[in-house]
Structure 1
């Protein structure tokens, strides 16, 4: 199948892509030259270079161009996005992006990079994720980014997510991610009332696996398909590791009308994780794990603690 018949849609958690400038409005002090992580220009430029190299490889086995659509998480601001898309590896893609500042205390946001030559943005907005603890105190987490646009003339709703973390424990924080799933479904249900047969791509770091209740029971209803469910092999493969176990928190979920070749200009072809050797740890104990930028305060100089995930769509 030729390049002209394929589009790659991807998601990548970039692991704390901060610039080196202290922003007094967010908790980014660690990511400064004098901060706890000694985050200087050399380290920043090395990370930008490596991330651009990884992004350029997404889907490269079947397509010679970077992803048409790329959702990202853990970006600080527009400066880091501008620096990323201006790199030599990505300059020819002519990326533009949609980004809104979120209320996250650390200042890490989501964004959607898109090739303006092939994807037309019609409108976009940030959907607030209102999550409260048992005391009624709001957890200021990332918004859900909603971008509505046209790819190959096909209208598509894209949602980029970075759901609340498991930092206090998976069971203790389940309710937060279930709330995120319900928030997203409320928006999706409203769109389905207003539009006939709308198409959806839901991507992000869900901080839950495909079989977790928030995803399996509250997000992937009968009208959706999650190709990432088949990619998780607990002792062998995933998009990130925790305590030496694999997870697939990074997922791309599609509406089932992407399988309708008669009514759709774009249909689902495949899904995968980009976990090639250059993105992995070489040290024997962690061999094959994502080659990350930091472990605690120890600088490794890698790419990210997550692998990118992607799907490919073909023209019908």
Structure 2
């Protein structure tokens, strides 16, 4: 009973403290959040009770509770639920609903923006948003198209627009094509994804230069790779960004040796949040990018000991749900990233 009373009081304190805090904007790769039902329209049999991973309601429930734990602990860190959360590697709207229906997340009253994408595995990207902070005006999915590969199927780019404190915002979330076949061989696909996002962002700013653009996602490239720095045009020096340009705070984070996923004992930073110059510098309106108290960087990575593999071949890596077909009961193979926006 005391534990329940404490939990209820803590949630009340979270809600009471919302207006006093800068807003968090977050991205998290949920790593293969599939339901247990076989969908004949997609290649999801791996994540079914009869598949090689023996994916069932017990394992699914564990995964959902793990995601609840991460999202709530990030909120509890400064008594502030994220205002906007971009997510990737989710199968459908139903799994999104299951996450935010969990007891510790339900008080945030999250809403969902989701579109089914043509990805062969059936994984999509989506948004959660708090309607008390972000006033949604519209949303759309932008398909990935590439003239040289007319039959290539991958995730759409999901967009939504509206206002925060009456200032216009345009959010984009994406999961760019993977490095399957090698980084260089697959690079044109990611450059094309970057080109699509940049053109959409530029079009929005051309209509209303006061709109604050936020591009986020698992880009399957590091913050310093050409697809992000050159094609997307995301620069790493906030003092040198010109009007109409874009700033990526995760360039500094990567150069300092931090990452969001590990591969062959090296860290990568594929998870990025890129913002337009007017949000980075506050050149228009009052809301702008802020650093967390005591932080070195504008970009943040959320990692806690329980999210890290403690032993074995992958010691020190993110504690994932599976290694091969062996259930680890973990969280994701990526750490989430987040930024602060405030006055």
TM-score tier after normalising by the smaller chain length: over 0.9
Query: Counterpart in 1 of 2:326?
Result: 298
1:37 aligns with 2:53: yes
- Alignment partners' CA distance in 1, 2:305 and 2:205: 42
**Residue aligned with 1:231, SS:** helix
Structure 2 vs 1, CA of residues 259 and 172 (structure 1 numbering), >3 Å: closer, same or farther?
closer
Query: Counterpart in 2 of 1:242?
Result: 263
**Residue aligned with 2:81, SS:** coil
1:131 aligns with 2:146: yes
Higher helix share goes to which structure? 2
User: 1:152: how far off?
Assistant: 1.9
Query: Counterpart in 2 of 1:230?
Result: 252
Query: Counterpart in 1 of 2:88?
Result: 73
Query: Counterpart in 1 of 2:154?
Result: 141
- 1:140-181 CA distance string (max 9 Å, x none): 000001111111222100000100000111000000000011
- Higher relative contact order structure (alpha carbons within 8 Å, sequence separation ≥ 6): 1
Which moves more between the two structures, 40-49 or 82-91?
82-91
Which among 60, 64, 89 is matched to residue 48 of structure 1?
64
Kept after mapping to 1: 8 A contact 2:261/2:318: yes
1:283 aligns with 2:311: yes
- 1:82-136 CA distance string (max 9 Å, x none): 1001001211111111000000000000000001111111000000111355xx4
Structure 2 vs 1, CA of residues 185 and 82 (structure 1 numbering), >3 Å: closer, same or farther?
same
Structure 2 vs 1, CA of residues 187 and 48 (structure 1 numbering), >3 Å: closer, same or farther?
same
Structure 2 vs 1, CA of residues 190 and 140 (structure 1 numbering), >3 Å: closer, same or farther?
same
Structure 2 vs 1, CA of residues 169 and 112 (structure 1 numbering), >3 Å: closer, same or farther?
same
Which among 250, 263, 275 is matched to residue 254 of structure 1?
275
**Residue aligned with 2:138, SS:** strand
**Residue aligned with 1:58, SS:** helix
**Residue aligned with 2:231, SS:** coil
- 1:19-68 CA distance string (max 9 Å, x none): 0001111000011111111000000000000011101122643x212211
Kept after mapping to 1: 8 A contact 2:168/2:210: no
Q: RMSD across aligned C-alpha pairs, in angstroms?
A: 1.6
Structure 2: 5+ residue stretches without partners: 1-16, 235-240, 292-298
Count, aligned residues: 310
Query: Counterpart in 2 of 1:116?
Result: 131
Provide the TM-score with structure 2 as the length reference.
Answer: 0.87
Kept after mapping to 1: 8 A contact 2:277/2:283: no
Query: Counterpart in 1 of 2:302?
Result: 274
